[in-house]
Amino acid sequence: MKNLITKNTLILTLIFGIVSTLSFCTRHDNVIDQTTPEPITTPTPSTSVLTSVKTSTSPTFIEQLQAGTWDGSDAAWSSAPKLTVTAVVPDATMLSSNNFLGFLGNSVPVTMRSMYDANNVYFLAEWNATPNVQSAYWYYDPTTKAWAQEVTKMTVDANGVKIRDGFTQDKFAMIFNVDNSCYAYNSQGCYGVCHLDVPNSTGVLQSYMRTNGPTEKLDLWWADMIMSSKYNQMSDGYEDYALGVLYADGRHTDNQLTTTPLAFSNKSTKKIKIMYSNTGTSKDTIALLPLYAYPTLKAVANGNAMFLSDTVTGGLAVKVTGIDTSGVLYLADGSTITPNVDYQRNGPGVGQYCIPGSFFAPFQGSRADITCNVKNTGTGWKLMMKRKLNTGETLKQDANFSSLDDQPFGIGLFFNHANNQHAIVSGLTLKFQK
């Protein structure tokens, strides 16, 4: 009898151990429980290790704010081993706040390489997905006889079937764990810091990115393809605990030397004159209009976005000062824009002179720690990145690579007209070859 009890006890112990182990299993493309797990130590599969090789011949960059376009050549990378992973838009259909409808299951293979030298670490990312470099254009709607702005998010019906693409730019992100301070990130990747269906201050369910404790920080690298192509910069940011506020976003940019906004909407929020051509009178009113426009002879001067330098005196963009009842825009230089078909929607697209909906300006201070070069291949992107092994900052906003220790990281891609509907790869490791 005693032996039978011992045997049954052993069997129950084994069953409990198996169930406990399975409760920690996760998948890269599923949203998981956001409760804080116990730290897990598991072997890293070779398919998730990016090896950074030491080099004496560093890749050549077009430096920040310098003129020129990278030709995409990568001969300097020939000795760097490739890691190919597939970024997938996660299944968030169970969420009340799901805004991935229309994008679920979208995936794209991404190939990455890395090198380092005595001072810097370098990355090269490549992927094939039809490039999108658009901002929410202003167009004239002849039916409503008003100017309107395209939205950045795809419009879908209740079943997730696309009605109209969003007008946005492709993006690429990398996340590193600062001093391994966020252990949920090491074991769960992005899922460990994405807090889902949290009621905001008005009770609406939303999702927020933030870490799980006051000492936890992640280093966030971000490339917007329009801006990064223009200035050869990525945005250097970080993610923190957001002071423990449940409905706060923990994402921030690194210290910026200027208070001038670096990306903002080209939208007027002030009163503007409406001209009545039949009477020669006008009145001031608030109208939904672009803040700046390109005069007809300078139309599409910068293609898909405006830049802050365009708005200075003598710049390419001119302030909109009025509109008449037929939709004609009046500009500060005395010129006008007549909203013909070139300023209207053209099927799924827009006319060639439709007005860009966003401004960009170069980064400064520690937000400009990352240099990048971008190549639009016509079928996808090549993105080459450079940052100091140790930026020397003291606020724990940057990952410090100088120890050459292994670094957990993940990537995110925004493609196929995605705005916030990112595809992700978690659970990657950067391993420095010594």
d(CA 44, CA 47): 8
Residue 419 in contact with residue 403, Cβ under 8 Å?
no
User: How is residue 236 written in tokens?
Assistant: 């250097």
**Does the pLDDT of residue 115 top 60, yes or no?**
yes
DSSP character at residue 30: B
Q: What pLDDT was estimated at residue 25? A: 30
d(CA 197, CA 317): 42
Q: What is the pLDDT of residues 247-297, one digit of tens each?
A: 888 999 998 655 555 667 888 876 666 666 555 556 666 678 999 998 866
Q: For residues 134 and 269, which has the higher predicted lDDT (pLDDT)? A: 134
User: How is residue 267 written in tokens?
Assistant: 């939208």
Q: Which amino acid is at 421?
A: Q
Count CB neighbours of 198 within 10 A. Answer: 16
d(CA 352, CA 330): 19
Find the mean pLDDT for residues 350-370.
91
d(CA 165, CA 163): 7
Q: What is the pLDDT of residues 382-431, one digit of tens each?
A: 999 999 999 999 999 999 999 999 999 999 999 888 776 789 999 999 99
Q: For residues 428 and 309, which has the higher predicted lDDT (pLDDT)? A: 428
- C-alpha closest to that of 125 among 425, 421, 397, 433: 425
The helix/strand/coil state of 403 is coil
**Does the pLDDT of residue 299 top 60, yes or no?**
no
- Which of 83-87, 173-177, 350-354, 403-407 has the weakest average pLDDT? 350-354
> How many residues belong to the chain?
434
d(CA 94, CA 24): 20
Find the mean pLDDT for residues 16-25.
32
d(CA 96, CA 207): 10
> For 220-259, b where at least 16 C-beta lie within 10 A, e where not — what string?
bbbbbbbbbbbbbbbbbbbbbbbeeeebbebbebbebeee
Instruction: State the burial class of residue 281 (Cβ atoms within 10 Å of its Cβ: 0-12, 13-18, 19+).
Output: exposed
Give the pLDDT band (50/70/90) at residue 93: low
d(CA 291, CA 265): 9
- C-alpha closest to that of 428 among 116, 31, 87, 103: 87
- Which of 21-35, 66-80, 150-164, 306-320 has the weakest average pLDDT? 21-35
What share of the chain in percent tops pLDDT 90?
50
Q: What pLDDT was estimated at residue 42? A: 35
d(CA 185, CA 177): 7
- C-alpha closest to that of 413 among 160, 27, 82, 132: 132
Q: What is the pLDDT of residues 181-217, one digit of tens each?
A: 998 998 888 888 887 778 888 888 777 889 999 999 9
d(CA 331, CA 163): 34
DSSP H helices, 38-122, are none
Find the mean pLDDT for residues 302-312.
78
Q: Which amino acid is at 19?
A: V
**Does the pLDDT of residue 317 top 50, yes or no?**
yes
d(CA 301, CA 11): 74
CA end-to-end distance (rounded Å), the chain: 60
d(CA 345, CA 147): 11
d(CA 80, CA 118): 16
Q: What is the pLDDT of residues 135-177, one digit of tens each?
A: 889 999 999 989 999 988 888 887 878 899 889 899 999 999 9
Strand partners, 206: 198
d(CA 136, CA 31): 30
Backbone phi, then psi, for 414, in 5-degree steps? -120, 110
Q: What pLDDT was estimated at residue 313? A: 83
Q: What pLDDT was estimated at residue 39? A: 38
The domain ranges of the chain are 52-68+81-133+169-252+409-432, 138-163+263-359
User: How is residue 11 written in tokens?
Assistant: 């069997």
**Does the pLDDT of residue 47 top 60, yes or no?**
yes
DSSP character at residue 94: T
